[in-house]
Amino acid sequence: MKRFDDFYNKLKNYRFEFRHLSLLLFGLIAFQVLLSLVQKTSLNKFLDDAQQWYQKDSAERLATLTATSLELIIENIQSNQKFSENEQRRVVQSFNIIFSQQMLQHNVQEVCLLFKKGNRVVAIDTGKELYDFLFAKETPTEDSNTEFKNAINLYRSTEDTITSTEQIYSTLDSAHAFNIMVPFVPHGELLGVLYMKNKPDFSFFTREIASSYNEASVVYTSLVFLGLLSMYFISSYTVRERDKAQNLQLQEHEQLIKEQTAHEKESVFTKRIYHTHHKAEKIMGFIKEDLRKIDGSGDEAIKDKVMKYANFISRVIYDMKWYDLPNNTIRGSMFLTDVNRVINFIVDNIFLRLSTHAEMYEFKLELDNSFPRVNINEFVVWEILEPIIQNCIDHAEVEKVTIKIKTYFDNSIGKNKIQISDNGNGIRPEFLVKDEKGIKKIFLEKSSDSHDINKNRGYGCYIAYELSKKCGWELDACNSKTKGSIFIITI
């Protein structure tokens, strides 16, 4: 009972539609037609085999009867008896009657007696020749054997077999005619064989049987077809009604999903704006602080720094305008950014400006002076690097974080790389597992191992990953063999 319930539950998972019923109908009809053809072929083969056996048996019986009749006539005549002319004529007529009666059969084509005379085989098909051969000891001429040349050749090839077995020998030639040789043994002495070529035809019988079977098969197939057709229309009507109801339900469900997706996109976009707004708010504080230091002396360093802050704020505001940023604002030949200079600026003027940085974290920079410039917007590079560095600080969970930033050329793959690592506790293993698209969980939106639910977490690495893709870069994350996490940007 449990197995039946399991099978029924699995069957309910399949949805039969109009095309499935159509295929099922045509499949059943095709199988029925194929079954009829196989049965008809089997019947025809059976009839052919039965007909061939019956034809052979009938032909052998006729040849045996003919040989027996001739033997009985000969046995009733004394070999040393003197016949008058009338008696001789009566014996010859008896022989002729037997020969002629067999030839009257429309299936019999040839009848003769074959005797061995020295090295010759003579064929006799008339009463006069037979009488002369048996009682007058006269042998027919060569010309009389021309008509039965094939019979003589067959007798020569089977003489030994017939002589040793004294049994009926029959063969079927290419024209479907039976060549039958019956041992001729009057007075118990083998003198030769009775040859008969018989081509019995019982095709009318098999045609009647095949015709009757065809009629029955047509009636049976028609009844099955009408039954399947009625079931098909009933099932099709039921499926159409079900599909209409399901389509209406799917349309309502699709509309609900669209509304829910639009709401989720709006919510996510709003949180991303909040996340970016937090950065802009911090940079505005730095701008205000630097503006207070300008005393009119024309400090170019402060002006340059304030200009970069302002440009970053412009970029942040520009990001707020777009859900999907245009590529020409991210990369192009008009951009020529020094990555090392951007890293130095971010470290010195963003993270090291805090008064408590010496107690919380420190930076170790290993920047390759030959590292090439990139055709990427300077502030997009800033937006990629800053959240990764901030992630190392927020999730290190050690008393003092050491952040190492390295730029170098990887000879093994022939590409430039930016590596950001820390000495923290590393990334939890479940965040390094890839999804069905091959993206690690740490780079998915709203994915964070922070336990503070009051903060907008799970966007920093996601934004860095998405911007890296738009730049044509590859961002990957892993744990160090010793301690800490490693982020690698391959350019």
Phi–psi pair at 353, nearest 5 degrees: -80, -20
Give the pLDDT confidence score for residue 312 in this predicted structure.
73
Which is more confidently placed, 64 or 16? 64
Query: Is residue 104's pLDDT more than 70?
Result: yes
Tell me what the mean pLDDT of segment 143-155 comes to.
78
Residue percentage of the chain with pLDDT more than 90? 9
How far, in Å, are 7, 193, 324, 395 from residue 464 at the CA level? Answer: 50, 109, 14, 16
Mean pLDDT value of segment 10-21:
56
Query: At residue 392, what are phi and psi to the nearest 5 degrees?
Result: -65, -35
Q: Is the pLDDT of residue 292 over 70?
A: no
Q: Of 23-37, 159-173, 441-455, which one has max mean pLDDT?
A: 159-173
Strand partners of residue 476: 488
Q: Say what the pLDDT of residue 167 is.
A: 87
Q: DSSP labels for 167-235?
A: --EEEE-TTS-EEEEEEE-GGG---EEEEEEE----HHHHHHHHHHHHHHHHHHHHHHHHHHHHHHHHH
358 versus 430: the higher-pLDDT residue is: 430
Identify the weakest region by mean pLDDT among 125-134, 292-301, 449-458.
Answer: 449-458
Residue 405 has a pLDDT of 94
188 band by pLDDT with thresholds 50, 70 and 90: confident
Model confidence band, residue 81 (pLDDT cutoffs 50, 70, 90): low
Task: For residues 16 and 243, give the distance between their C-alpha atoms in angstroms, rounded to a whole number.
Answer: 10
Residue 406: what pLDDT?
Answer: 93
pLDDT of residue 356: 57
| C-alpha pair distances (Å), 200 with each of 13, 29, 69, 145, 212 | 64, 40, 21, 25, 23
Q: Which domains does the chain have, with CATH numbers?
A: 22-201 (3.30.450.20), 324-490 (3.30.565.10)
For 301, 387, 434, the CA distances from 371, given in Å and listed in that order, are 24, 22, 31
Residue of 31 and 194 predicted with greater confidence: 194
Residue 457 has pLDDT above 60, yes or no: no
Assign 439 to helix, strand or coil: coil
Nearest to 72 by CA among 184, 191, 168: 184
Query: Cβ–Cβ contacts within 10 Å for residue 154, how many?
Result: 20
Residue 371 pLDDT: 92
CB 216 within 8 A of CB 23: no
Q: Which one has a higher pLDDT value, 302 or 474?
A: 474
pLDDT > 70 in the chain, percent: 76
Residue 257 tokens read as: 């999903």
Q: How confident is the model at residue 298 (pLDDT cuts 50, 70, 90)?
A: low
What's the Cα-to-Cα distance from 436 to each of 363, 441, 462, rounded to whole Å? 36, 11, 17
* Predicted local distance difference test score (pLDDT) of residue 66: 84
Residue 461 has pLDDT above 90, yes or no: no
Region 96-120: what's the mean pLDDT?
Answer: 82
For the chain, counts of helices (H) and of strands (E): 11, 10
Instruction: Give, for 57, the enclosing helix (H) or strand (E).
Output: helix 18-75
pLDDT of 456 reads 44
C-alpha 175: how far from chain center: 49
| 325 vs 410: which has the higher pLDDT | 410
| Confidence label for 59 from pLDDT (cuts 50, 70 and 90) | confident
**Non-local CB neighbours of 140 within 8 Å, separated by 6+ positions:** 122, 123, 124, 129, 132, 133
pLDDT of 262 > 50? The answer is yes
pLDDT for 419 beyond 70: yes
Which phi and psi (to 5°) does residue 195 adopt? -100, 135
Q: Quick check: 467 pLDDT over 60?
A: yes
Which residue is listed with tokens 């024309």? 298
Banded pLDDT at 319 (limits 50, 70, 90): low
pLDDT band at 379 (very low <50, low <70, confident <90, very high): confident
Average pLDDT estimate for 398-416: 89
Nearest to 32 by CA among 215, 221, 212: 221
- pLDDT at position 450: 55
Instruction: Please tell me the least confidently modeled range out of 126-135, 142-151, 251-260.
Output: 142-151
Q: What is the pLDDT of residues 381-406, one digit of tens each?
A: 888 898 899 888 888 888 888 999 99
Average pLDDT over the chain reads 78
pLDDT at residue number 486: 93
